[in-house]
Amino acid sequence: MSSKSTEFSNKEDSRAIKPFFQDEARLGRIDNICSCWVPPKGRAIVCNQPIREYTYAYSTVCPERGESFSLILPYASESYMDVFMELVSKEFKGYRIIMSMDGAAWHRDDKLKKWENIIPLFQPAYSPQVNPIESLWHHIREKGKFKNTTFHSLKEVENRLVQVINGLDKDTLKSITVLKWIRSFGEEVKSLQVDTKETEVVEPDEMHGCVGSKTTTFGYGLLPVDLARDSSISLLATEATRQQKNFGRL
């Protein structure tokens, strides 16, 4: 990741370099049937709806600061990835971002290189476990009660998704996305004895000295924008909630 910092075009830019992790998740109306708790002598009754209508959540998160940005989009494609990246670039214009993502076809387009404050970093093939945002999808599906739930429209799916993502605060995001390997590596970097000048040069490793620090609650907001097939883009930020201790750690 340190070597990626040399790819920013403006060598005199003094903005901090921050690591972000990005991915998409598909959620839809097809029922996800699984085991659940019921009262004694009771029986769970759920529907089995095989309707294949989906929406996609595009998200990026910074484990160091617990900051995130998400959009609800109707498809996974290069054009929608372009919309997402454009808004991320504007939302975090105060940072230079090294964004880790998988090698999906809509990530590989050359347009990803056009934003002066974002450099993509592609993770190895078939290795979702190295991307901590995978734990965020698990949290959303669990806390959002997407299992054993029948949605009568795609709008209901989007509304549920907006609700659960708006319920994420910075501390919760840190708990979900700071995986064991990130934390242990951060502790190693923290223990290194380096002088001030060397620390300033290796800006990407600033994250490792800040993991676990206290921050204030992030604000929230919602920006609806009409898209094709009467769907919507929703700018999702975060507001206060609580998270189970150590949830999402490997």
Whether the pLDDT of residue 206 is over 60: the answer is: no
Query: What does the pLDDT look like over 110-156, one tens digit per residue?
Result: 656 688 899 999 999 888 888 999 999 999 888 888 877 888 899 99
Q: What local confidence, expressed as pLDDT, does residue 208 receive?
A: 37
Model confidence at 249, pLDDT cuts 50, 70, 90, reads very low
State the pairing for strand pair 118-122/96-101: parallel
Model confidence at 67, pLDDT cuts 50, 70, 90, reads very high
Give the count of alpha carbons within 13 A of 130, CB side only. Answer: 10
Q: Which residues of 157-179 are buried (b: 16+ CB within 10 A; e: fewer)?
A: bbebbbebbbbbbbbbbbbbbbb
Mean pLDDT score of the chain, rounded to an integer? 75
Who has greater pLDDT, 229 or 181? 181
Helices 133-143 + 154-166 axis angle, to 10: 110
Who has greater pLDDT, 49 or 245? 49
Model confidence at 22, pLDDT cuts 50, 70, 90, reads very high
Whether the pLDDT of residue 75 is over 50: the answer is: yes
pTM for the whole structure: 0.68
Q: What local confidence, expressed as pLDDT, does residue 151 receive?
A: 87
Average of per-residue pLDDT across 207-233: 37
CATH number of 15-30+44-234: 3.30.420.10
Model confidence at 94, pLDDT cuts 50, 70, 90, reads very high
Whether the pLDDT of residue 177 is over 50: the answer is: yes
Residues with Cβ within 8 Å of residue 244, at least 6 apart in sequence: none
Phi (first) and psi of residue 118, to 5 degrees? -130, 130
Phi (first) and psi of residue 25, to 5 degrees? -130, 140
Model confidence at 189, pLDDT cuts 50, 70, 90, reads very low
Who has greater pLDDT, 107 or 2? 107
CA distance 119 to 133: 18
